[in-house]
Chain A
Amino acid sequence: MLQTRSSDHAPMIAPGHRVFGIKIGSAAVVVIVLALLPLYASEYAVSVGILIFLYMSLGQMWNLLAGYSGLVSLGQQIFVGIGGYTLAMVTQAYQLSIALSFFIAAGISVVFAFIVSFPIFKMSGVYFTVGTWIVSEAMLVFFRNWEFVKYDAGYNITVAYRISMPALYLGSLAVGVGSVVLVFLILRSKLGLALMAIRDNEGAAETRGVRLYRTKLACFLISSVYTAITGVVLYLNITYVKPGAAFGIDWTVCMVFIAVIGGLGTIEGPIIGAVIYVILRQYLYNFPGISMIILGVVAVAIIMLAPAGIMGVLRNKFGFTFFSVGRQLPAGFGSIRKKAAGRRGRPS
């Protein structure tokens, strides 16, 4: 019983702080090893790394919405598109810096997300999902007919050519690690407590005083802004932007794949999901035409074998969690479960 951790609690209680220190330490080592990858790995490996980190970030942000606040959006490509187009306009049309693109993309997306929240937050469940998708389709049509962005012609993002592969890799690593840290900090905060309550039971959360609208809106704004920031880096990698691709639902399909395969409502899930997704897709380049079918089959297989995703299985069967966002008992109350803590004291 004690070993089947359901979710989000500290797997260790008594030696909590030490374990926390060890985890921070090992996470830091992993990040450093990853950061040095361009020094010892092939260019191909580095390019795959870029994709993994960026898709990890997309998956984290979609999971924050769907996995925690119950907002299943099929319109998050809007923000990838905003990121890509902001980069193109700022650097090509206005010849300004890449750094500025991040701020402008964040600004535009927070305003846009806030405005669309009024109509779409009036809808719930599947209506919300359809609503977000309709908004994203509308964006696609709008961009195709908007002179300011050169209609359907799109832009080549030439500043991106001057960015070296290692630099782009480090930027992607920062975005990917940043997304994990962001979600971790959110879940540890008061907002996170509200989100976890909403994830488990919206009605009960409300009766306990959790403001649903405000909490979900905060979640939507954060997720949208970070998706746009990720979009900027994605388009530094892609180097040309067109409405069809920028606002295509493919982006959200891969976010869903990553979050669901990895495990909804967990921090580890999108990390695992992104690694699987990117590597699988690299491999599937050898099978053009049927690659989408294979991805679909993989998704269905994992969902049927493990509805809670890979992380769900690891957690429920083996008690594995790395990012514990569970609340620890205050000092003086922690000793009650020492025995159990000892049993769970294996490295995770």
Chain B
Amino acid sequence: MDAPVLSIEDLASAFGSNRVLTSVGFELRERETLGVIGPNGAGKTVMLNIITGILSPDRGRIVFLGRDISRKSVVDRARMGFGRTFQIPRSFENMTAYENSLVGAVFGAGRTEKSAGTGVCEILDLIGLGGKKLDPAGKLGLLDRKRLEIGVALASNPRVLLLDEVAGGLTESEITEIMGIVRRVKDSGVSVIWIEHVMQTMLHGTDRVMLLNEGRNVICGLPEEVMSSGEVEDAYLGSGIHARTERRG
């Protein structure tokens, strides 16, 4: 078995008395898509913010390719190969879709504008923004902005891609498209952490699924096993991931 690309060790994080994460630890392997599920407020986004350095944890370590990067800045981690999307898109509104992605390519991947251009355009074509390359991001609709989030993250040529709810609100065929994109990205040698509430993406778009609940990673394993487990049912009792899938899908 290969050494893990990323290992998360015993993360804990609280906001005042709100103990969001109490102990989260897992490993992300080479060329693996790890799905993350968990009820609203479970701390999935907080976990991504800690991994990318936006928040610092109260306890725990993040080891990337054998190096402890817990003290590295957001910028350093971005340049090291962490590309992420934001649940609520954060685009550069006055810049075009093309320029948005160029920022990822130039500062995240360290390329020159000239050498990055073609690759950036191919990424925009891939994610379905090919016809809107020169539209200002501020004029794009929500779904297109979510696509753009993926585009910018991919343009930064990540080693680890972190997706935070990119499929919510998409149509059936768009979801299939996104799953195809994630698979291609993974096959090109990227490890992916994919947070999503849409059942189908977790079942068919990931290699393993992890459930985050009550501050801990409760269970982790093959998608079908995890999704049909009692733990998942308990976690979603009341809100129900199946019900959500129907509503969103």
Which residues of A come within 8 Å of B, CB atoms? 1, 4-10, 13, 190, 193-194, 196-197, 199-201, 203-212, 265, 326-327, 329-330, 332-333, 336-337, 340
Bound together, the chains give a CA A7 to CA B139 distance in angstroms of: 11
A-B contact pairs, 22 of them (CB 8 A): A8-B99, A190-B112, A193-B102, A197-B95, A200-B91, A200-B92, A200-B95, A201-B93, A204-B90, A204-B91, A205-B107, A206-B75, A206-B78, A207-B54, A207-B86, A207-B90, A209-B75, A265-B94, A326-B96, A327-B102, A329-B121, A332-B118
Bound together, the chains give a CA A5 to CA B94 distance in angstroms of: 9
Bound together, the chains give a CA A5 to CA B96 distance in angstroms of: 10
Chain A: CB-nearest residue to B78: A209
Beta-carbon contact of A196 and B139 below 8 Å:
no
Task: Give the secondary structure class of A's interface.
Answer: loop
Q: Quick one: which of A199, A200, A210, A329 contacts B107, CB cutoff 8 A?
A: A210
Beta-carbon contact of B118 and A207 below 8 Å:
no
Bound together, the chains give a CA A10 to CA B156 distance in angstroms of: 23
Beta-carbon contact of A208 and B118 below 8 Å:
no
Contact segment of B19-27, B28-36, B38-46, B128-136: B128-136
Residues of A within 8 A of B113 (CB): 190, 193, 327
Instruction: List the 9 closest A-B pairs by CB distance, nearest first.
Output: A209-B107, A330-B117, A200-B92, A209-B78, A6-B136, A204-B90, A209-B108, A333-B121, A7-B94
Beta-carbon contact of A201 and B121 below 8 Å:
no
Beta-carbon contact of B136 and A207 below 8 Å:
no
Bound together, the chains give a CA A201 to CA B52 distance in angstroms of: 17
Beta-carbon contact of B90 and A13 below 8 Å:
no
Residues of A within 8 A of B94 (CB): 6-8, 196, 199-200, 265
Residues of B within 8 A of A203 (CB): 54, 90
Q: Quick one: which of B75, B103, B112 contacts A197, CB cutoff 8 A?
A: B103
Contacts A6-B139, A333-B118 given; does A326 touch B93 at CB 8 Å: no
Minimum C-beta distance from A13 to chain B (A): 6
Minimum C-beta distance from B82 to chain A (A): 9
Contacts A206-B75, A209-B108 given; does A333 touch B95 at CB 8 Å: no
Which residues of B come within 8 Å of A, CB atoms? 52, 54, 74-75, 78-79, 84, 86, 90-96, 98-99, 102-104, 106-108, 110, 112-113, 117-118, 121, 130-131, 133-134, 136, 138-139, 152, 156
Minimum C-beta distance from A1 to chain B (A): 7
Bound together, the chains give a CA A265 to CA B95 distance in angstroms of: 12
Minimum C-beta distance from B140 to chain A (A): 11
Contacts A336-B133, A337-B134 given; does A194 touch B92 at CB 8 Å: no
Beta-carbon contact of A330 and B95 below 8 Å:
no
Beta-carbon contact of A327 and B92 below 8 Å:
no
Chain A: CB-nearest residue to B138: A6
Beta-carbon contact of B152 and A333 below 8 Å:
no
Interface centre among B86, B94, B104, B117 (most CB of A within 10 A): B94
Beta-carbon contact of A326 and B108 below 8 Å:
no
Contacts A6-B93, A208-B152 given; does A193 touch B136 at CB 8 Å: no
Bound together, the chains give a CA A340 to CA B139 distance in angstroms of: 16
Contacts A207-B52, A208-B108, A209-B78 given; does A329 touch B131 at CB 8 Å: no
Bound together, the chains give a CA A304 to CA B139 distance in angstroms of: 23
Minimum C-beta distance from A263 to chain B (A): 12
Q: Quick one: which of B92, B106, B110, B112 contacts A204, CB cutoff 8 A?
A: B92
Beta-carbon contact of B130 and A336 below 8 Å:
yes
Chain A: CB-nearest residue to B125: A333
Beta-carbon contact of A206 and B99 below 8 Å:
no
Chain B: CB-nearest residue to A9: B96
Residues of A within 8 A of B91 (CB): 200-201, 204
Residues of B within 8 A of A329 (CB): 98, 117, 121, 133-134
Contacts A6-B139, A196-B95 given; does A190 touch B84 at CB 8 Å: no
Chain B: CB-nearest residue to A192: B113
Bound together, the chains give a CA A5 to CA B139 distance in angstroms of: 10
Residues of B within 8 A of A206 (CB): 74-75, 78
Bound together, the chains give a CA A7 to CA B108 distance in angstroms of: 23
Residues of A within 8 A of B86 (CB): 204, 207
Residues of A within 8 A of B107 (CB): 193-194, 197, 205, 208-211
Bound together, the chains give a CA A212 to CA B75 distance in angstroms of: 9
Beta-carbon contact of B134 and A208 below 8 Å:
no
Beta-carbon contact of B79 and A333 below 8 Å:
no
Bound together, the chains give a CA A1 to CA B141 distance in angstroms of: 13
Minimum C-beta distance from B136 to chain A (A): 4
Residues of A within 8 A of B136 (CB): 5-7, 9
Residues of B within 8 A of A6 (CB): 93-94, 136, 138-139
Beta-carbon contact of A13 and B134 below 8 Å:
yes
Beta-carbon contact of B103 and A326 below 8 Å:
no
Beta-carbon contact of B92 and A196 below 8 Å:
yes
Residues of B within 8 A of A8 (CB): 94-95, 99
Contacts A190-B113, A333-B118, A333-B121 given; does A205 touch B134 at CB 8 Å: no
Residues of B within 8 A of A212 (CB): 75
Minimum C-beta distance from B218 to chain A (A): 28
